[in-house]
Structure 1
Amino acid sequence: MSRVKIHPSVGGLVRLSAALGLSVVLACATVPSSASAAEAPVGLGTATDFAVVAGSAITNTGTSVIEGNVGIFPGTAITGLLPADVQGTVHTTDAVALQAQADVTTAYNDAAGRTPTESGVTELGGRTLTSGVYSGGTLGLTGTVTLNGDANSVFIFQTASTLITASASRVVLTGGATSCNVYWQVGSSATLGTGSTLVGSVLALTSITANTATTVEGRLLARNDAVTLDSTTIAVDATCTAGVVTPPPAGGGTTPTLPGTGNGTGAGTVPLATAPQGGATSSTLNTLPPTGSNGSPLLLGGAALAILAGALLIAFRIRLGLSEKQ
């Protein structure tokens, strides 16, 4: 029986092909999974500088302290809220209120569309939570919930129906987590208990009621109905940025439109100097992810290596055939 003689260069090709094959496997293995990627903040756009946005009415009882803009669209009824109560600008059915309400709608749809980290949540009290998306049919808070994370940690709470916090309940931030990255997406109405403390932006489809002496470090943003206050303190963190406003898919959700002619942009409707005018909306045109955020360069590199390995394998087979004939 004749022996097959393998030329030394063929052995080198075998070793090189094996090494390249291993490189392909490693390259693919190091591509980050979207499931493990950090949760992105919900972009609020021009609503970032608003402490209160309502759809139909804003009603206040007692002396409230509101640090931020106040907007209402398409309704016009604001009752019991004095100019001295608002450290910002009140926008009533003007172009600024329209844009803020539109951005609230977009933010609501964005938060509602996130994939839950944990589903079936009903009671938050007594828990310490890390960054993630927590979803339930209804959400309640009795006692204290602690949100532990750093300045980039994002906490999104989704409820198909109501959010109800008990009297004296609290949301506590630890580890450097900020109110800028806490969002409460509420499928119907939110009710905040007497003397309770809430952190983050409430995005409610219907209405929001803050009972007596409630403190909110964030925003109360209602799409369709009223925001009701009673000696409420609301403070918007000045360090929060507008973020990227992610529009809903085509046909998903509606955007408010300004009725009739005239914008009602008379005296008293000039937005705060720090309000991001148009910047957040225009950022939606950038649909490309940040460089390397989804591992594209690694995928391209792996494909190139795979092609090269295949070519070398073909060359190896040709050379092996020649060696067998010798």
Structure 2
Amino acid sequence: MPTQAVAIATPVPLATAANFSVLAGAGVTNTGPTVISQDLGTHPTASITGFPPGIVLGSVHAADAVALQAKSDLVTAYNNAANQATDFALPAAIGGGQTLLPGVYTAESGVGLTGDLILDAGGNPNAVWVFQIPEALTTASASRVLLTNGASPCNVYWQVGSSATLGTGSTFVGTIMALTSISANTGANIQGRALARNGSVTLDTNNIFLSGCATSTTGGTTGPTTTGGTTTGGTTTTGGTTTTGGTTTGGATGGPVTTGGTSGDTGNTSGVTSGNTSGVTAGNTSGVTSGNTSGVTAGNTSGGSGADGRDHAPGRPGHGGKPGKPDHAKPSDEHYGYDKMPKGYEDDHSKSHEG
């Protein structure tokens, strides 16, 4: 785990692009019962195929003025992410159980996710990760991005200089902003967004969900990590006590680790998995039934719904679910992922992905 005194990553201002689960420049193609929780759009190419059988819980914008504005905002967001100052170098191979603190991670070339990557917020729900990848991003089958200690999928951004490809049955977290195209192979799930500037987005039996995030984000640092020092301004937590706009002296920031996890919005714990994806916790399913569960079982989503500024709730969540015990080194007891699914989706699709 790298160490740092100050995390300089800032939230990327997505503006109207934040309303989209999927946004493309050269059309969207889908195969199978994909479900996305927010808007679907493309501009300038208007082609959208595969919906149905795919389900869009938001609105569809095929080369209209809304999609045009979102594409413009995506360009601004992409450039913002690409130009943030670097905290750490990002190796070409990640996902061997590494734990990454908040910050800006910069690669020299393409990056491959081979296994489990853990993002540890250290108790700060406003912690931000920005990954700057100048070439392609690829993820292996069944690879996972895991969140712990209050990390929020709303604050994870992947700026990709060419195309992104997500492996079969993989679990990915964060907003992908690719210069070219994005392809999600069968059963890959995203707790975040798939936003392609110039190319197409190709989907195959995927679930793309995100809730509780602001529809527009403007600046602000993730806040310094101090030890025995003084933090002035913003919101600083000391030993579980939150002080807003005040000064905290003589203590380490970072509040308590909450069981069940909060990822920026209340109840953003475990979500949906497709096929053999085991949620987003290492070793155990989090918020889904053990075994080869596709999607979530009725009423068994963990956590509550979080307002994302839209009227496209994926479904009624369950309550009280807790993430399972991870099988990697214990960064926390709070690994979690997707938080909710559309009503009825569990019964319609759970059987089709078993085994």
TM-score (norm: length of structure 1): 0.63
Residue in 1 aligned with 2:40? Answer: 70
Following superposition, the deviation at residue 36 of structure 1 comes to 3.8
The answer to whether structure 1 residue 55 and structure 2 residue 25 are counterparts is yes
The answer to whether structure 1 residue 132 and structure 2 residue 168 are counterparts is no
Aligned residue for 1:124, secondary structure, equals strand
2:49 and 2:134 mapped to 1: Cα distance?
Answer: 29
Structure holding more strand per residue: 2
CA contact (8 A) 2:34 2:54 kept: no
Q: Deviations over 1:62-99 (max 9, x none)?
A: 11011000110010111112286000000011111011
Following superposition, the deviation at residue 274 of structure 1 comes to 3.4
Gapped regions of structure 1 (runs ≥ 5): 1-34, 247-271, 276-326
CA contact (8 A) 2:35 2:207 kept: yes
The answer to whether structure 1 residue 81 and structure 2 residue 51 are counterparts is yes
Residue in 2 aligned with 1:168? Answer: 142
1:83 and 1:40 mapped to 2: Cα distance?
Answer: 38
Residue in 2 aligned with 1:180? Answer: 154
Counterpart amino acid of residue 310 in structure 2: T
Aligned length: 216
Residue in 2 aligned with 1:4? Answer: none
Counterpart amino acid of residue 131 in structure 1: P
Question: What fraction of aligned residue pairs are identical, expressed as a percent?
Answer: 50
Counterpart amino acid of residue 146 in structure 1: I
Residue in 2 aligned with 1:116? Answer: 86
1:164 and 1:133 mapped to 2: Cα distance?
Answer: 19
Aligned residue for 1:96, secondary structure, equals helix
CA contact (8 A) 2:214 2:309 kept: no
Aligned residue for 2:73, secondary structure, equals helix
2:28 and 2:219 mapped to 1: Cα distance?
Answer: 25
Structure holding more helix per residue: 1
1:223 and 1:70 mapped to 2: Cα distance?
Answer: 14
Q: Call closer, same or farther: CA 1:245–1:82 in 2, change over 3 Å.
A: farther
CA contact (8 A) 1:51 1:219 kept: yes
TM-score (norm: length of structure 2): 0.58
Stretches (4+) displaced over 4 A: none
1:245 and 1:98 mapped to 2: Cα distance?
Answer: 23
1:170-249 maps to which residues of 2 (within 5 A)?
170-244=144-218
CA contact (8 A) 1:121 1:134 kept: no
1:234 and 1:144 mapped to 2: Cα distance?
Answer: 19
CA contact (8 A) 2:172 2:190 kept: yes
Following superposition, the deviation at residue 241 of structure 1 comes to 4.1
The answer to whether structure 1 residue 154 and structure 2 residue 125 are counterparts is no
The counterpart of 2:117, out of the listed 137, 145, 154, is 145
Counterpart amino acid of residue 39 in structure 1: A
1:42 and 1:273 mapped to 2: Cα distance?
Answer: 17
Q: Call closer, same or farther: CA 1:211–1:45 in 2, change over 3 Å.
A: same
